[in-house]
Amino acid sequence: MPTTTRPIIAFSGSVLDRADALRSDPVALAALRGRGDARLLGMDGLEPVVSAAGALVWQAMTAAPDAELLFLGLDGDGAPHFAPVPQAGSTAPAASTLWSAVEAMAAPDLAAYAAARALGGWHARHRFCAVCGAPTVLAKGGWQRSCTSDTCRAEHFPRTDPVVIMTVEHQGRLLLGRQPRFPAHRYSALAGFVEPGETLEEAVTREIREEAGLTIRDVRYVASQPWPFPASLMFACHAYTDDPAITIDTNELEDARWFTRDEVAEAMDARAQGRDGIAFSAPTQVAVAWHLLDIWLHGAG
């Protein structure tokens, strides 16, 4: 059993009440915006503005009096929280301090940022109607965009892409792989998008067959995580195989192999101390893959 408190899954644990009934009420939204206790999230495009203490920065609404706004919800005191809509086409900067900021940020901040980034990123890439090509406008406090063409009037909603991420076990060893873009020595759980016309369990089975050539059984859901880069919902799963012969899809993976429980435990202990393990470099604690490995080692309790 772990002796320290386990971190909550990063980007979850929001303390804001989304108050969805208010989204459809333009008068109420305008009143919320005008309140003295209303707060606007400091954002630089899709990246958070971070204080010296590593926290999100919530500004007075006067910081951006004409900004188009996303209504994130109400805090425990009823104060309305908003985020700005990013400019059209906003994308993540190539060089970013985001990850060091994310790893230092408290859970409620990460959760508020997750909603603001996923929703904001969707607005940045959906200024036009996919049905007819006409411009769209923001609606319902940012939780909808509406086509401006009188003959179309399509309604569009924020997109969330389900992704499966999974560990496979064989005789007490765990399958992990590395993508070419990973940091040196890093191995993590394999992952892929769920496709139309398949269950979560079928997506896990297909991805493991495609990427590692393994036939699996007994797929089990473990946990989920919102991952706003740009708009994923991660479904962490665990499965078993009876035949450990790996065939890698070299288009997706640089390597995949079996790690013993001792190797995983050492790499996770090393990660907790901010360094790479001996057999491999374990995933960061902000990734749900970290929780998959932690739960495999120590159980969910």
Which parts of this chain interact with a second copy (CB under 8 A)? 9, 11-12, 14, 18, 20-21, 89, 111-112, 114-116, 118-119, 122, 125-136, 143, 154, 156-162, 193-202, 206, 210, 221, 223-226, 228, 231, 233, 235, 249, 251
* Nearer of residues 277 and 283 to a second copy, judged by Cβ: 283
* Nearer of residues 224 and 281 to a second copy, judged by Cβ: 224
Smallest gap, in angstroms, from Cβ of residue 200 to a second copy?
A: 4
Smallest gap, in angstroms, from Cβ of residue 273 to a second copy?
A: 28
- CA dihedral of 168, 169, 170, 171, whole degrees rounded to 10: 180
* Nearer of residues 112 and 267 to a second copy, judged by Cβ: 112
* Nearer of residues 161 and 269 to a second copy, judged by Cβ: 161
* Nearer of residues 60 and 106 to a second copy, judged by Cβ: 106
- Is there a contact between 109 and 83 (Cβ–Cβ < 8 Å)? no
Smallest gap, in angstroms, from Cβ of residue 128 to a second copy?
A: 4
Smallest gap, in angstroms, from Cβ of residue 158 to a second copy?
A: 5
Burial group, residue 160, by CB count within 10 angstroms (0-12, 13-18, 19+): middle
Smallest gap, in angstroms, from Cβ of residue 205 to a second copy?
A: 11
Smallest gap, in angstroms, from Cβ of residue 96 to a second copy?
A: 19
Euclidean distance between CA atoms 296 and 301, whole angstroms: 11
Which residue type sits at 173? R
Smallest gap, in angstroms, from Cβ of residue 50 to a second copy?
A: 18
* Nearer of residues 2 and 135 to a second copy, judged by Cβ: 135
3-state SS of the chain is CCCCCCCCCCCCCCCCECCHHHHHCHHHHHHHHHCCCCEEECEECCEECECCCCCECEEEHHHCCCCCEEEEEECCCCCEEEEECCCCCCCCCCCCCHHHHHHHCCHHHHHHHHHHHHHHHHHHCCCECCCCCCEEEEEHHHCEEEECCCCCCCEECCCCEEEEEEEEEECCEEEEEECCCCCCCECECEEEECCCCCCHHHHHHHHHHHHHCCCEEEEEEEEEEEECCCCEEEEEEEEEECCCCCCCCCCCCCEEEEECHHHHHHHHHHHHCCCCCCCCECCCCCCHHHHHHHHHHHCCC
* Nearer of residues 134 and 272 to a second copy, judged by Cβ: 134
Euclidean distance between CA atoms 214 and 5, whole angstroms: 35
* Nearer of residues 117 and 186 to a second copy, judged by Cβ: 117
Smallest gap, in angstroms, from Cβ of residue 216 to a second copy?
A: 15
